[in-house]
Chains A and B, each alone.
Chain A
Amino acid sequence: MAAPSRRYTLDNPLAPQPVTSRRDPTHRSARFYEESLELGRELIERPKQGGGIDRVRVQHAKGRMTVWERIRVLSDRDREPNILWQNWGRGLDGASIVTGILSIGGRDVAVYGHDFTLRAGSMDATNGAKLARLIYLAAERGIPLIGMNDSAGAFVPAGVGGLDGYSEAFAALRRISGLVPSISLMFGYNAGGGAYLPRQGSFMIQCAGTFIGLTGPGVVKSALGEDVTADDLGGPGVHGLNGVCDLTTNDELGSLRTALRLLSYLPNNNRELAPFRPTSDPIDRFTLEEDILFRNTFDSPAGVNAPLEITLFLQQICDHGEYFELQPERARNLVTAFGRIGGHVVGFVANNSAVASGQIDVDAARKGQRFIRFCNLYNVPLIFLEDVSGFTPGTEQETRGIILEGRRLLDAIIDIRVPSMTLIVRNAFGGAYAAYNSHFVGADMVFAMPHARIAVMDGGGGTQFVFKDELRTFEAAYQKDIAAGVPEPDARRKRDEGMRQLRERYERELMNPREALSLGSVSRIVMPGTSRRVLAENLDFLMRTYTPSPMGGPQREFE
């Protein structure tokens, strides 16, 4: 760099010259050895150069880390990443994808990452093969996989080879699906295969300033005439809401740290349990907060129908109140979250009446089924917190196929083979009750709080059905009053008062846990304040008598 003729340099000409060799380089065998060492060093270093300093700077100018820097964030601080096949590729440069085994929180994790500084992280046959090798290795050794995606798609000059590379990687990732869990981190600009491949993994995390899509705004503009920014087309604001991404974050560091947190709830593979952490939070503590929560809810102006943010309940029963919500921006009428009870990792599927009344619509059904299937495959026990009045009716939902999606949620529940429990927190009506992990679709235990409202129909519909005759009488009396010249408002008030009383009677007599208990559909009553204890004890019992294993049995129609 320091050629004397140059007018500008950025080095330090006054720096002491580094000492190079300790041995006499004229000696023949020594020279051979020195040169080999030099070659070895150079080969190890070569992939780390990526596309060269200028490309690295471009990457940094976008506020993005290089793949090597991302690896450093993921790795335990005192452990060197174990990089494998780093010279695979014609240029001995690792072919723009870095693969290795990292120690993360003391666990072995297979990690790959595109090197965007080299050919924009695009894929050819070589790195397709390399990626597949790592993916199969992860499955073989039973360790989780983290992918750091930053790829523009197939490497066009590689022709069909690039497509083949993708096919090989697609196939590999699909084939290990259900064997080991994986987390896909989305960095930079990911189009086409670069978007499909990572979504084959278990969870996807996208940060701000990135793009995921079939194709970018340029093509969209020329093909469809649509004028849209990359962020509006495929940014985290889009994919956090449509379910493509499970989690969105503010920046790359946020994504990497979120992945570490998510990983702490995931097992290594489908033969093991998720990491158990003995808890210092007593499982038998009486949680008066539950009682306060229900009192406050029912004391509010909306009374027994007041919305209840279910995470307020959830945090009372988890160890130290901690839970980790997935798809937290989307379809929060159904909350899906990991947490621990008594040290066991649990998947929570909770109706949340604070959002859209907690009804199950197409989006909630999709969110729920995906989460349930994951837990089912990986031996994560499930707890359903039920407070649901039904599936969402109406034109919009029917048009979008609620019948199909609702049924898929039901299927996912019926397919559950891991320990599963349901706690009916308030409402459990009709089809939603039946579908939502009731005893007869397979729940190991079904608990109900004393104020649970388990019924065939909600108050309105139920009254109409059960008190058909009485209602008819009121209507007749109303007509008679009108005919007799009673002022309409008075007649109406009289009729409405009678109907209100009937409704109250219905709610009092038929919307409670009595019948379900008498039929054995509910295992036991749980008093507010004891949910944590009851769930923890039963979970512990179920887990004591459960042996984690890969899921077997026939593959069902649909999914």
Chain B
Amino acid sequence: MRDGEGRKRRFQECESPWLRSFALDDMKILVVCRGPVRREAFDVFDEIGVRAYGMLLSEKDSVVYPRCLAPELRSFRFPANVHRVRDYTGAGQEEKQERIREIVAIGVDHGYTHVFAGYGFMAEDAEFIGAIEQAGLGFVGPSSRVVRRAGAKDEAKKLARSLGNAVIPGVDDVSARALLRKARGRKPLEKLAKEHELGFRYDESTTAEENAEALLQAGYARSQELVSVADLQAEAREICAEIWRDYPTHRIRFKYIGGGGGKGQRVVAKPAQVAAAVMDVLAESKVLAPGSNRNFLVELNIERTRHNEIQLIGNGEWCLSLGGRDCSVQMHEQKLLEVSLTHELLVAEAERASGKAREILRGDVGTLARMEAEAERFGAATGLDSVSTFECVVEGFDHYFMEMNTRIQVEHGVTELAYALRFTNPERPGERFEVERLIEAMCLLARHGARLPRPERVPRSPSGVEVRINATNDALQPHAGGLIKSWSPPTPGEIRFDQGIGIKNPDTGAFVWYNLAGAYDSNIALVLADGASRLESYERMAEILRVMELRGDDLHTNLDVHYGLLQWFIGRGVMAEPTTRFMQSYLAAAGALRLLAQDVDVEVAFAETGRRLDPEARKVLAAKETLLQRPLARLLGNAHLLGGFLGRYDGELWRSEGGEARFHANPVHFLERLHHFLDLEDRPGKPPSEKLWEHDEGILRAALDFYAEVEARTGARDLEALDALFAGAANADLTGGDAGLWMRCQAAHRGHQLGLELLLLIPRLGLASNFLEVVVNEELQPVFPERFTEPASLAALVRALAPPPAAAADEIVTPMGGTFYAREAPQLPPLVDEGDHFEAGQPLFVIEVMKMFNKVLAPFSGTVVENRMRGKDGTVVKKGQVIFRIEPDERLAEEKPEETAARRRATTLSLLG
């Protein structure tokens, strides 16, 4: 909190009785989630000075994986307040209830006043929150009443409709409809209720659907199954058929009512997929157990969807919108890049823009205003008494309400960068304070709720941006594991929530190696930056990622994806309005780049360039071996970096006309930008292997100084002007009539330009792969060539980014001798059998050696063709004995090294021109 003078203060330490009345020092808060928000919450609690706090420690945070201890423990202020639980949530209704009882008991027994659940699975669970409230504990977050009203997606939609908010075509009462199909009307329903011993009475004053809903609720309360999974599948098929009658080309989305973060959702394109998708949605939401509430939404999938959301805050009496966030850049239903969307930003950016873009941005100002107004109405109607997010899909200037997330979101930091909250004493208008952190605001609301006057929002930075650093491969598929061995500390202006991974060992000051296997989902950290404009915030973020060093073993993150993507936006237009499908097409484009770039051999290209030169020039070129080859090889070796560079510098360093790329800028500047882009320039403390080698630095420096001086004296800057200058007669401005110096300058120009045409390989790859055709049009729409958007070609290209491990083998042998078991325990089914498909890393069978049961894991993915050990459980096998004959998913292409080299050589030479 900042007081009226802008000083950072704690309420309890203020002189003003009004400020002091909002003291938070009697709070003792139990944190029941993990992820980056846990550590962030501790920081906020320290800042605001709560009395104490505690945390749950799950097994995955402590005993399931090595080198995975919750990093927060290294500097945890209240070691006595670490409470061990098996997990933070439970699989299935029964386990969940057990967990709730456990958490409530911990809260009560240890004298906590409040519980904080961050954005964990339980944060939106009305049952969980209700239990906390009943136990007399406070919940830092929306109360169970609000969650019940707004948290369930079906209820929320009904409410939104009643408030006149736009919603997507679809059905939100699949369960009720399925029930009515079996039993419509008073008698059948009451009969069913009787059979299941449920207290239910048909209410003629309302609709059949409402009655069905009431009976379902009674069933859930007593864990009685009224509608089977098969019923739901049948009903979903009917509903889909109806929707497809009106929208034959659209896809349809299924979404579990309590889902979040992409869990419990499926999209189907044809009737045959419906049944399986329903099963998946229910299984993923852990509601297959009889009597669970299995209701899900069926709705039209908006194809050109942008995903915008409005941050809301309220105390039950007032409700305030805090601007929006655009979260459209996402993949596999996981958000990647989140940017602030505020009135102030859109107005300013519209001002900066011209033509159609300006019109669109002005239209967006209106859309945002409508969303904010609807959000406030909706929040007020639910009696919102903490923070929530009002989520919308946007298509053009239209928006549809999707759902309200009744919790703090992962991307809340973006809003904190955009707005602060100013609370003013209604009695004494001069007396006020400002709150910048939403978690602090949540604590204030939890502790003093009704007493807080309606705040006003105060703009902070015009633009905020967040990237999620995830453990994924280059195709953005989750990648388990990897050991982080070092991570550079945050740079000035960088906000990083890293779950505490960066907390050094307090005894030794060393970075503690961290195994990512233990993470609940693939999110490792959140990184935020702000700026005076969208462009500046992107540039700052790109700079943060450019210099970030994250090293380790078998470590795969999306860091390069983010860096490339930000650079791409900076080059192509930061106000672009990508849809939620943008990312997969962008990945396909990167895949096309990779397919081509992996066939370019930089050494061959360099040698060929030298071969074409006269002997003297060849000798001089040799001095540039590492200066040219190293950055080129590095850029070409990473499609995401290459794509980012192409997007960032197309039209600036080179121009393409008629399918051919030509230098625009001085190639020396091109080379300098390339080194900069790859973070190869010098910085204090940087290991020599991570920057330009000294001799290369010398050559590049001399070239840059030379051309700077040439420009200062003659004004010649781009390549055309320079070539004209040095091809002509001695220039008196440059050398003042010194003929020798003129000749030396000509020699320097020739020397410095030598071999730089190699750099054109970069735009040529961009052209040949069609990557450079990916642009942002004047209507701010990203535009892709068809093969990056067509599902058939797209999938293969995305796959090229992360080809699955290939195998030459067609059998699985046992790596050790011992007693064979097909199953983990006698009563369990075999781990795999004939016809089964297995993934890499999946357990295949068990070998007992000296009473120890060793699970043997699949080294790659494939399908079992023949099980040689069928019915032979308990028999002794020898090391190397064949267990299964299999068909690997990906067969190793048998290409001789000479063939590979010849192919690469041919590609390289053809691109060299």
Q: How many residues of B contact A (CB 8 A)?
A: 76
Q: Using a CB-CB cutoff of 8 Å, which residues 307-366 of chain A contact chain B?
A: 307, 309, 311-312, 314-316, 319-322, 340, 343, 353-359
Q: Which of B745, B828, B849 contacts A13 (CB 8 A)?
A: B745
- CB closest residue in chain A, given B606: A61
Report the minimal beta-carbon distance from A228 to chain B, rounded to whole angstroms: 14
Residues of chain A within 8 A of B853, CB atoms compared: 301-302, 305-307
Contact pattern, B 49-91, Cβ under 8 Å of A = 1, otherwise 0:
0000000000100111111010001100001000010100000
A53 on the B face (CB < 8 A): yes
**Residues in chain B near residue A252, CB distance under 8 A:** 689
Q: How far is the CA of A99 from the CA of B629 in the complex (A)?
A: 32
Q: Tell me which residues from 481 to 513 in chain B have a Cβ below 8 Å from any Cβ of chain A.
A: 485-486, 505-508, 510, 512-513
Cβ-defined partner of A301 (8 Å) among B66, B734, B825 = B825
A292 within 8 A of B: yes
**Distance A314 CA – B629 CA, assembled complex (angstroms):** 46
Contact B850 A292 (CB under 8 A): no
B626 interface residue (CB < 8 Å to A):
yes
**Contact across chains for A14 and B706 when beta carbons are under 8 A apart:** yes
Taking the closest CB of chain A, its distance from the CB of B880, in whole angstroms, is 11
- A343 to B507 Cα, complex, angstroms: 8
**Contact status B750-A8, CB under 8 Å:** yes
A257-B850 in contact given A13-B748, A264-B508, A277-B508 (Cβ < 8 Å): no
Any A CB within 8 A of the CB of B95: no
B617 & A315 in contact (Cβ 8 Å cutoff) = no
Contact between B854 and A356 (Cβ–Cβ < 8 Å)? yes
On chain A, the residues within 8 Å of B690 by CB distance are 253
* Among candidates B66, B825, B828, B852, residue contacting A315 with C-beta atoms closer than 8 Å: B66
B508 cross-chain contacts in A, Cβ below 8 A: 264, 277, 322
Contact A261 B617 (CB under 8 A): no
Contact A289 B706 (CB under 8 A): no
A278 to chain B, nearest CB (A): 7
With contacts A77-B685, A251-B689, A279-B507 known, is A389 near B84, CB below 8 A?
A: no
User: Which A-chain residue is minimally distant from B827 (CB atoms)?
Assistant: A301
Name the residue on B nearest A314 (C-beta): B66
Knowing A12-B709, A301-B828, say if A389 contacts B850 (CB, 8 Å). Answer: yes
Q: Does B163 contact A (CB under 8 A)?
A: no
- Closest A residue to B65 by beta carbon equals A312
Q: Which residue of B has the minimal Cβ distance to A279?
A: B507
Q: Which one, A65-73, A152-160, A463-471, A536-544, is touching chain B? A: A65-73
Q: Is B743 among interface residues, defined by CB-CB distance under 8 A?
A: yes
Closest residue on chain A to residue B846 by CB atoms: A302
List B residues 741-771 near A (Cβ within 8 Å): 741, 743-745, 747-748, 750-752, 754
Cβ contacts under 8 Å, A319 to chain B: 505, 507
39-64 of chain A: CB within 8 A of chain B: 53-54, 56-57, 60-61, 63
Taking the nearest CB of chain A, how far is it from the CB of B737, in angstroms? 15
Task: Decide if A253 touches B689 in the complex (CB within 8 Å).
Answer: yes
- Kindly state the separation between the CA atoms of A502 and B703 in the bound complex, as whole angstroms: 86
| Residue in chain A with minimal CB distance to B486 | A257
Cβ–Cβ < 8 Å partners of B79 in chain A = 282, 285
A458 and B685 contacting across the interface, CB-CB below 8 Å: no
| Interface residue A281 (Cβ < 8 Å from any Cβ of B) | yes
Q: By the criterion CB–CB under 8 Å, are A320 and B486 in contact?
A: no
Q: Are B69 and A357 in contact (CB under 8 A)?
A: no
Say how far B343's CB is from chain A's closest CB, in angstroms.
Answer: 47
For residue B260, give the distance in angstroms from its CB to the closest CB of chain A. Answer: 28
Find out whether the CB atom of A359 lies under 8 angstroms from the CB atom of B507: no
Q: Is B659 an interface residue (CB 8 A)?
A: no
Q: Are B744 and A307 in contact (CB under 8 A)?
A: no
Which residues on the A side are within 8 Å of B629 (C-beta)?
Answer: 61
User: Does B710 lie within 8 Å of A14, measured CB to CB?
Assistant: yes
What's the Cα separation between A55 and B851 when bound, in Å?
58
Q: Is the CB of B743 within 8 A of A69?
A: no
Residue of A nearest to B879 (CB): A396
- Does A192 touch B at the CB level, under 8 Å? no
CB of B195 closer than 8 Å to a CB of A: no
Is B706 a contact of A292 with CB atoms below 8 Å?
Answer: no
Partner of B617, one of A7, A278, A359, A459: A7
How many Å lie between the Cα of A4 and that of B79 in the bound state? 74
**Minimum CB distance partner of A63 in chain B:** B689
| Chain A residues with CB under 8 A of B486 | 257
A353, B852: Cβ atoms closer than 8 Å: yes
Which parts of A376-407 form the interface with B (CB within 8 Å)?
A: 389-390, 394
Q: B552: nearest residue on chain A (CB-CB)?
A: A250
Question: Chain A contacts of B745 at CB under 8 A?
Answer: 13-14
Q: Is the CB of B850 within 8 A of A458?
A: yes
Contact pattern, A 487-513, Cβ under 8 Å of B = 1, otherwise 0: 000000000000000000000000000
How far, in angstroms, from A264 to B848 measured CA to CA in the complex? 39
- A302 to B553 Cα, complex, angstroms: 31
- Does B705 count as interface, using CB distance less than 8 angstroms? yes
Give the distance in Å from the alpha carbon of A278 to the alpha carbon of B506 in the complex. 10
- Quick check: A301 and B824 within 8 Å, CB to CB? yes
Q: How large is the interface on A (under 10, 10 to 19, 20 to 34, 35 or more residues)?
A: 35 or more
- Knowing A7-B750, A277-B508 touch, does A65 contact B689 (C-beta < 8 A)? yes
- Interface 1/0 per residue, A178-216 and B, CB below 8 Å: 000000000000000000000000000000000000000
- Contact: B851 with A320, CB < 8 Å? no
Asked if B699 is at the interface of the complex by the 8 Å CB criterion, the answer is: yes
Q: Which of A11, A307, A320 contacts B748 (CB 8 A)?
A: A11
Is B84 a contact of A9 with CB atoms below 8 Å? Answer: no
Q: Is B203 positioned at the interface, with any CB of A under 8 Å from its CB? A: no
Interface centre among B699, B706, B734, B852 (most CB of A within 10 A): B852
Inter-chain contact B705/A15, CB cutoff 8 Å: yes
Provide the residues of chain A in CB contact with B623, threshold 8 Å. Answer: 10, 53, 57
CB-CB < 8 A to B84: which residues of A?
288-289, 292
Chain B residues numbered 853-907 whose CB sits less than 8 Å from any CB in chain A: 853-854
Q: How far is the CA of A364 from the CA of B199 in the complex (A)?
A: 68
Verify if B22 is at the interface (C-beta below 8 Å from A).
no
Of listed A279, A293, A300, A320, residue having the most chain B CB within 10 A: A320
Complex Cα gap A300–B551 (Å) = 35
Please state if B551 and A10 are interface contacts (CB–CB under 8 Å): no
Q: A250 and B705: CB pair below 8 A?
A: no
Query: With A60-B693, A61-B625, A301-B824 in contact, do A73 and B688 touch (Cβ < 8 Å)?
Result: yes
B101 at the interface (CB under 8 A from A): no
Which A residue's beta carbon lies closest to that of B734?
A14
Bound state CA distance, A10 and B705, in angstroms? 11
Give chain A residues whose Cβ lies under 8 Å from the Cβ of B222.
none
Chain B nearest CB: distance from A97 CB in Å? 19
Task: Give bound CA distance, A63 to B690, whole Å.
Answer: 10
For A354, the chain B residues whose CB sits under 8 A away are: 854
Whether the pair B752, A2 counts as a contact (CB closer than 8 A) is no
Q: Is A27 an interface residue (CB 8 A)?
A: no
How far apart are the CA atoms of A329 and B306 in the complex, in Å? Answer: 47
A399 CA / B217 CA spacing, docked (Å): 71
B695 x A8 contact (CB < 8 A):
no
Assess whether B728 is interfacial by the CB under 8 Å rule.
no
Residue of B nearest to A15 (CB): B705
Q: Using Cβ atoms and an 8 Å threshold, which residues of chain A touch B751?
A: 8-10
9 more A-B residue pairs beyond the given contacts A10-B624, A302-B852, with a C-beta to C-beta distance below 8 A: A4-B744, A13-B706, A53-B695, A73-B689, A289-B84, A292-B59, A305-B851, A389-B851, A389-B852
A-B contact pairs, 28 of them (CB 8 A): A6-B616, A10-B699, A11-B702, A14-B705, A14-B709, A14-B713, A14-B745, A54-B622, A57-B625, A60-B695, A72-B687, A73-B687, A73-B689, A253-B689, A254-B485, A256-B687, A281-B74, A282-B79, A289-B84, A292-B86, A301-B853, A302-B852, A305-B853, A307-B852, A321-B69, A353-B852, A389-B850, A460-B851
A-B complex: 4 closest residue pairs judged by Cβ atoms = A301-B825, A357-B852, A69-B688, A302-B853
> Which A residues lie at the B interface, using CB under 8 A?
2, 4, 6-15, 53-54, 56-57, 60-61, 63, 65, 69, 72-73, 77, 250-254, 256-257, 261, 264, 277-282, 285, 288-289, 292-293, 296, 300-302, 305-307, 309, 311-312, 314-316, 319-322, 340, 343, 353-359, 389-390, 394, 458-460
